[in-house]
Amino acid sequence: MDLPWGDERTKQFVTNVGLITSNGSYGQNIMACEWTHLISYSPGLIAIAVGKNKTTNSNIRETKEFGISLASTDQSVIASISGGSTGKEVDKIGVLKELGFKFYKAKKIKALMVKDAVLNLECSLIKTLNIGSHTLFIGKAIEASANPNKKPLVYHNLQYWELNKSIEKPPQKKRDKISRLVERYRK
Ligand SMILES: Cc1cc2nc3c(=O)[nH]c(=O)nc-3n(C[C@H](O)[C@H](O)[C@H](O)COP(=O)(O)O)c2cc1C
pLDDT in tens, 93-152: 999 999 999 999 999 999 999 999 999 999 999 999 999 999 999 999 999 999 999 999
User: Is any ligand 1 atom within 6 A of the Cβ of residue 122?
Assistant: no
Give CA–CA dist 37/137, Å, rounded. 11
52, 79, 15: which is closest to 60 by C-alpha? 52
Predicted TM-score (pTM) of the model is 0.97
Task: Give the DSSP letter of residue 180.
Answer: H
Report the residue among 11, 30, 34, 158 best suited for mutation to probe ligand 1: largest number of ligand atoms under 8 A from its CB.
34
Mean of pLDDT values over 18-22 = 98
Cα(43) to ligand 1 centroid in Å equals: 26
Task: Give the DSSP letter of residue 34.
Answer: S
Percent of the chain exceeding pLDDT 70 equals: 100
User: Is any ligand 1 atom within 6 A of the Cβ of residue 50?
Assistant: yes
3-state secondary structure of 26: coil
Residue 181 phi, psi dihedral angles, 5° rounding: -65, -45
Q: First and final CA of the chain: distance in angstroms?
A: 37
